[in-house]
Amino acid sequence: MQDAQPQTTSPLSTVSSATSAHAGFRGIWLPLVTPFVRDGANTPVDHAALRRLVAHYRRSGIAGFVICGTTGEAAALDDAEQLAVLETVLGEADGTPVIAGLAGNHLGHTLARLDAFNALPLAGVLTPAPYYIRPSQAGLVDWFRTLADRSDAPLVLYDIPYRTGATLTLDTLLTLAGHGNIRAIKDCGGNAHTTQALIADGRLSVLAGEDHQLLSTLAMGGHGAIIASSHCRPAHFAALYRAVQSQQLAAARVRFHAVMPVVKLLFAQANPGPVKAWLAREGLLDDVLRAPMTSASPALAQQLVDAVAAIDAEFGVQVAAPADAANAVSAVGTA
């Protein structure tokens, strides 16, 4: 098979179809951490804390949850644990849309896991390129098409080459956009030209995946974000998103610059160590990660507390307006 070529026409390229494709993947999506509890040498999933987190965030202004992604330490969870986490979240989400992460490099195993996901009421499946293998572009197209054909929920491509070792070229992404069950992308590719081209093409919802690129992606016409920093005052991020959507760019810039100190601290040490340290200080979970991940330093944790307090001092501790919660639930109607 030859390497993928750009697809210039598609039945999904009409305005009505593109609008439908975007309807389920807009706004700020929270890639939720997975809480653990220390039990001697073991660190089982803390399902009580997980339910507490979901209840805390489900009406905070987010569009939905992304579960078992990078921030959720999915690589440290076995298949049964991931399913149990998804079931707990779905049981507590109360209609808030849920996207499940699905990463792997063994096609048969990945498809078997996808079959298990098909039994769950998911809004989408977030899936990166198979890691470590570094396949050709043609191989990547075959991989994602195979998953999209098998999945009951729409796929959200996860373009994150610095973790997978595989780059999805623009031609490949435009080819995949022609598949009716590939509907969005979490964009961590770091290429502004690709981001702009996908937004202009209009067939995929483009969701910022790098926290520091949130404002630039939205200002270019992107549809939302999946960002770990939205754990910290998600209503602030939701307000930033609304400001861009209503063309209040000056207000959006003020909010973005206010949150950047928090973003920088959250990634000053390996994610999700800092965000878990902050959540522990909020009383929402224990500050426990699975090896080889380590907790953030106490000094960084205190800096985060102070940085979030500065946002609160400037904007107040915001809660989502009732309409935000309603929109978050209804947003996935066509997904």
DSSP per residue, 243-290: HHHTT-HHHHHHHHHHHHHHHHHHTSSSTTHHHHHHHHHTTSS-----
Question: If you search the block for the tokens 């993928």, which residue do you land on?
Answer: 4
169 is known to lie in a ligand binding site: no
CA atoms lying within 13 Å on the CB side of residue 135? 21
Residue (of 206, 205, 204, 201) closest to 9 by Cα position = 201
Tokens read off for 31: 């890639």
pLDDT tens digits, residue range 47-66?
999 999 999 999 999 999 99
What confidence tier does 324 reach under pLDDT thresholds 50, 70, 90?
Answer: very low
Tokens read off for 267: 């990634």
Residue (of 74, 125, 130) closest to 107 by Cα position = 130
Give the residue extent of every domain in the chain: 27-247
Task: Please say if the pLDDT value at position 147 is more than 90.
Answer: yes
- pLDDT value of residue 316: 85
Query: Does residue 186 have an active-site annotation?
Result: yes
For 232, phi and psi rounded to 5 degrees?
A: -95, 105
Q: Indicate the angle between helix axes 234-245 and 249-266, nearest 10 degrees.
A: 150
Q: Which of 57, 131, 132, 186 is catalytic?
A: 186
Query: Does residue 158 have an active-site annotation?
Result: yes
pLDDT tens digits, residue range 263-284?
999 999 999 999 999 999 999 9
User: Contact 317/309 with Cβ under 8 angstroms?
Assistant: no
> 27-247 adopts what CATH topology?
TIM Barrel (3.20.20)
Q: How far is CA 228 from CA 48, 182, 238, in A?
A: 21, 23, 13
Task: Please say if the pLDDT value at position 328 is more than 50.
Answer: no
Q: Which of 57, 132, 158, 276 is catalytic?
A: 158
What confidence tier does 318 reach under pLDDT thresholds 50, 70, 90?
Answer: low
Tokens read off for 322: 């009732």
pLDDT tens digits, residue range 164-182?
989 999 999 999 999 999 9
pLDDT tens digits, residue range 230-246?
999 999 999 999 999 99
- In SS3 terms, 98-136 reads as EEEECCCCCHHHHHHHHHHHCCCCCCEEEEECCCCCCCC
Amino acid at the residue 268: A
pLDDT tens digits, residue range 79-98?
999 999 999 999 999 999 99
- pLDDT value of residue 320: 56
Looking at 46-50, 162-166, 284-288, 300-304, which range is the least confident one?
162-166
Tokens read off for 313: 């001092």
Amino acid at the residue 198: L
In terms of Cβ atoms closer than 10 Å to its own Cβ (0-12, 13-18, 19+), residue 250 is: exposed
Question: If you search the block for the tokens 């305005």, which residue do you land on?
Answer: 15
The residue count for the chain: 335
Residue (of 9, 25, 3) closest to 169 by Cα position = 3
Coil, strand or helix at 313: helix
71 is known to lie in a ligand binding site: yes
Average pLDDT on 21-46 reads 90
What's the predicted TM-score (pTM) here? Answer: 0.89
